[in-house]
Amino acid sequence: AISAFFSTSSSQSAIKNVMVIGSGLMGAGIAQVAAATNHQVTMVDQTNAILTKSMRSIEKSLDRVAKKKFKDDTEGGNKFVADTLARITITTEPNTAIADTDLLIEAIVENMRTKHKLFTDLDNAAPSHTIFASNTSSLPIREIASVTKRKDKFGGLHFFNPVPMMKLVEVVRTPETTDDTFDALFQFSKELGKVPVSCKDTPGFVVNRLLVPYIMEAVRMLERGDASARDIDTAMKLGAGYPMGPIELADYVGLDTTKFIIDGWHEKYPDVPLFEPSEILNDLVARNKLGRKTGEGFYKYD
Ligand code: CAA
Ligand code: NAD
């Protein structure tokens, strides 16, 4: 029992202080789960207004978790929520806050240039022991890491939306990622209560290499008029056992993120029909209908 206690205690881990950059759908979820498992978290975004909104969404999500975890123990649940929130600090200045960071997790927009700019600055500002990780859905980790001098301490840590509910983390290593770095990322994922799997640095790793073409095939089916969005979703939920259909899942992931992924792959692999862009998707994104997060995508949300 004692060894079990120590092996799960974050005080025994190399990673205590975590910085999460980008506090959107993914960053807020990652910050929440890291704080809920006793890590000190610094959450970063571009403005305080965004950060305040993200803290509110973390609180809402924690309330849902607490309701389940502390069924009849309201006091215990309230303490869990308050203690978790108290472990999260917010800032718009990552370059100063990075000084105490053991692990940096980047979850900003899916754009190589923006990620390169961020990592170039942070590589100069961070202590040498800090491990860098990206939560990218589709970009090569090796290419993201290329602008840093810590390619040995760089890996992919790919979470799934909604982070508090989804158990999987894909831990991605490049040829330069050392065993120590990989092991630290793998162990950290376990500390969060997640199940890590090991992936090579291939497009989409495991899940998105299968899931994104599937979503895009559903969008093409809709474009051809083969079936309505509702019928496609109902069919895949009831006929294949998925918790969400592919069209509602696209809305859930975010149509901008879905478009960034598919456009990036299409540019790199123009001959792969599964990576073809879609008119409907392009049109919705152009009209800022980005899915659930903006209140409308393929569907409308309250
Ligand atoms: N925080 C905390 N709890 C949450 C939550 C959140 N953000 N979202 C849902 N929950 C909880 C609810 O409180 C609810 O708890 P109870 O069972 O105690 O009532 C439970 O989850 C179920 O929620 P709902 O009843 O509202 O809805 P649901 O049964 O449809 O479950 C879901 C919601 C877990 C999101 C489920 O629909 C699902 O698994 N959908 C598929 C998600 C998926 O495929 N994600 C991967 C996207 S791809 C990706 O992430 C990778 C990428 O790079 C793009
Ligand atoms: P999002 O649009 O919800 O959030 C991105 C956040 O990053 C925004 O709050 C934005 O203000 C912030 N940001 C942008 N540039 C920044 C910068 N230079 N410094 C600080 N903050 C910055 O996006 P998301 O869905 O959370 O996706 C974030 C990353 O996670 C992307 O790389 C995406 O591919 C990946 N991802 C997304 C999903 C998903 O289902 N949405 C799942 C797994 C991985």
Average pLDDT per run of 10 along the chain, which is 302 residues long?
Answer: 42 82 98 98 98 98 96 94 98 95 98 98 97 97 98 98 98 98 98 98 97 98 98 98 98 97 97 96 98 97 93
Distance CA 209, CA 279 (A): 21
Task: For ligand 1, atom 39, name the residue with the nearest CA.
Answer: 243
Please report the atom of ligand 1 found closest to the CA of residue 258.
54
Strand positions, DSSP E, 94-230: 103-106, 131-134, 154-158, 168-173, 195-200
Instruction: Point out the residues that are catalytic.
Output: 137, 158, 170, 208
Q: What is the pTM of this model?
A: 0.95
The predicted pLDDT at position 9 comes to 43
The predicted pLDDT at position 14 comes to 86
CA angle 188, 192, 195 (to 5 degrees): 85
Quote the ligand 1 centre to 269 CA distance (angstroms).
32
Quote the ligand 2 centre to 110 CA distance (angstroms).
7
Among 44, 45, 139, name the best residue to mutate to test ligand 2's pocket (greatest count of ligand atoms within 8 A of Cβ). Answer: 45
> Cβ < 6 Å from ligand 2: which residues?
21-27, 44-46, 50, 107-110, 114, 118, 135-137, 159-161, 253-254, 257
b/e per residue 159-177 (b: at least 16 CB within 10 A): bbbebbeeeebbbbbbebb
**Which DSSP symbol is given to 176?**
T
The predicted pLDDT at position 241 comes to 98
The predicted pLDDT at position 13 comes to 61
The predicted pLDDT at position 11 comes to 41
ipTM over 0.95: yes
- Whether the CB-CB separation of 54 and 45 falls below 8 Å is answered with yes
The predicted pLDDT at position 12 comes to 46
The predicted pLDDT at position 8 comes to 44
Amino acid code (one letter) for 34: A
